[in-house]
Amino acid sequence: MQFTKAEEYGLLGVLYLAEKDQLSVTPLSEISENKDIPEKFLAKIFQSLSKSGIIRSLRGVRGGFTLAKKPEEITVKEVLESIQGPYHLLKCIDDREICNKSKFCSLRELLAIAEKKLIEVFESHTLADMVRWQKEQRVTT
């Protein structure tokens, strides 16, 4: 099980914004170059994040992106679901009708437990937490 590239790049992009002064506007090209993310792919991801209210897009000569809320108000879950939709380890966890297996599936039950714990982690941590972890890591290395 792995994050998609869109999820990885989306989180890296918003983390870059979270480290900046909240009043500054950052060009997409700067984020793309700094995080080594293809600019066109990042633009598509940021479009989703903008629609969901995670980031704000500003047009014009001095245009770019900024967080729409404070980093401590944005959970990892919000970012991921803005990019990919509701997070599920198996499609049948959310909709039992799509699976033709028996009414009880031990794999589904196990992954439902794992998914619940994973979602709890995503909900309980914010961009501010991740920025703090990055700063702590830089100090120790």
Q: What is the pTM of this model?
A: 0.87
Q: CB–CB of 13/44 below 8 Å?
A: no
**In the chain, what are the domains?**
5-135 (1.10.10.10)
Tokens representing residue 106 in the block:
């031990």
Separation of alpha carbons 2 and 10, rounded Å: 14
The mean pLDDT of 97-125, rounded to a whole number, is: 85
- Report, as an integer, the average pLDDT of 91-101: 74
CB 24 within 8 A of CB 66: yes
Percent of the chain past pLDDT 70, that is, above it, reads 96
13-69 pLDDT per residue, tens: 999 999 998 889 999 999 999 999 999 999 999 999 999 999 999 988 888 999 999
